[in-house]
Each structure stands twice: as structure tokens, then as C-alpha cells.
Amino acid sequence: MYLDAFSDWLKWRGGPPAFRIHGKGRRERSWRIIDVIATARRDWDSRWPLWQGTCITWTAEVIAVGWDFARGVLREQMQAPASRRFPVSVAGGRLGDIERRQRAGGADYPSFSEILAHECGHTWQASRLGDIYLPVVGFTTLFLEGPRPWNHFENEASSQGLFGGIVTGSVCRQLLTIAGERRQETG
Ligand SMILES: [Zn+2]
């Protein structure tokens, strides 16, 4: 299957992941280990317009994020670690629907960890859909969440995705260094 080869290539090209996570869809029986690869092209100040501040799930095994985002997840997880027993899910099953999030007792805007849970929902779609995942979901993602049929995959990623924590010992040295420097700056 080409997605397996693509996963291998992404991992080789991206070097060691920023960290690894436990993730799955609600309907999936067992947890999967997913590489979270960080790239400066996905940072908020990136000059790549379509990549700026975005995450993308490439395959069932690889999620790409910016270093800013990876640091945000690490910071949240150091304060309140998720686990497979107590995973993070998207409040109200929607990242962008403030009313629905409030009804579910969530914050108005999603945390980094919730966005990662959404991406875990996409990894479940990738494992289910195989080779058609990227052409089909990659395209519909542009439509975001909403009530229309073409919002299906985004809605499903938000309602199904579970982030079961960072795999122990998997945080790369570079991210630990960045996180440490930032802590000193902010005192
Ligand atoms: Zn999405």
C-alpha cells in the first residue's frame, strides 16, 4: 500500500519525531502509536501561507505540526497529562462551534491537546480508508466542520479522535531545549 511507503518516507525525511503519542478513534479497539513530526514550515510565523500554523495528518502513523504547536502540546501535557485511561477529546465534539463546546462544559476555543485529538480522529480515518484517505479527506478538510455532507470528515475527526498522551521518553532533545529556553524567557 502506498501509504505505508509514504509513512516511511515521511519519517525518514522528517528525522526523529518531536514526540510520539497514543491515539485512536472512539470506535477503534486498540491504541496506535503515532509520530508527531515538527517542521518550521508549519510555525505561526512561517512564510509558507497555506502551511502557517496548521497541522496535517498525513497517514495513520504520521501527524505534522509546527514547532510552536509541539511546544504548546508539551506545555499542556506537563501541566495536565493525558493518558489512555483519561484521554483528551474535543469538547462537545467540535473545535469551532462555541455554543456546542460551552454546552459540553468546554472552553470557547480548543487547546493544543484538543486539536491533536482531532488529528488522532484523522489517523483513524487514514487507517480505515487506506489509499483514498489523502485524496478524499485531504480535500474535504478545506471545508472545515459544519452541517453539510462535505463537512463529514472534519466533524467525524472532532467527535471521534482521542489523544491518549505522549509516549514516555519520546520527546526529542530539540523540543526539550526549545521548551526550556521559552520557560526561562517567560520567567
Ligand atoms: Zn481536520
**pLDDT (tens digit per residue) in 131-157:** 888 888 877 776 788 898 888 999 999
By CB atoms closer than 10 A (0-12, 13-18, 19+), residue 132 is exposed
Percent of the chain whose pLDDT exceeds 90: 59
53: CA distance to ligand 1 center in Å?
A: 13
114: CA distance to ligand 1 center in Å?
A: 11
Mean of per-residue pLDDT scores for the chain: 87
135: CA distance to ligand 1 center in Å?
A: 14
Domains of the chain, by residue range, sit at: 2-185
151: CA distance to ligand 1 center in Å?
A: 10
Three-point CA angle 27, 89, 173, nearest 5°: 110
157: CA distance to ligand 1 center in Å?
A: 6
Note the pLDDT of residue 156.
96
111: CA distance to ligand 1 center in Å?
A: 14
User: With 70 as the cut, is the pLDDT of residue 178 above it?
Assistant: yes
CA atoms of 160 and 118, how far apart (whole Å): 8
86: CA distance to ligand 1 center in Å?
A: 22
Note the pLDDT of residue 7.
74
32: CA distance to ligand 1 center in Å?
A: 18
CA atoms of 108 and 95, how far apart (whole Å): 9
144: CA distance to ligand 1 center in Å?
A: 7
The predicted model scores a pTM of 0.88
Note the pLDDT of residue 98.
93
Note the pLDDT of residue 160.
98
Q: Is 56 helix (H, G, I), strand (E, B) or coil?
A: strand
- Hey, what's the cell of 150? 462535505
Residue 7: what residue type? Answer: S
149: CA distance to ligand 1 center in Å?
A: 15
User: With 70 as the cut, is the pLDDT of residue 177 above it?
Assistant: yes
160: CA distance to ligand 1 center in Å?
A: 11
pLDDT 10s digits, 53-108: 578 888 999 999 988 899 999 999 999 999 999 999 999 999 999 999 999 999 99
pLDDT 10s digits, 47-58: 655 555 578 888
The residue whose grid cell reads 467540535 is 94
The DSSP letter of residue 57 is: E
Note the pLDDT of residue 184.
67
Note the pLDDT of residue 47.
61
User: With 80 as the cut, is the pLDDT of residue 40 above it?
Assistant: no
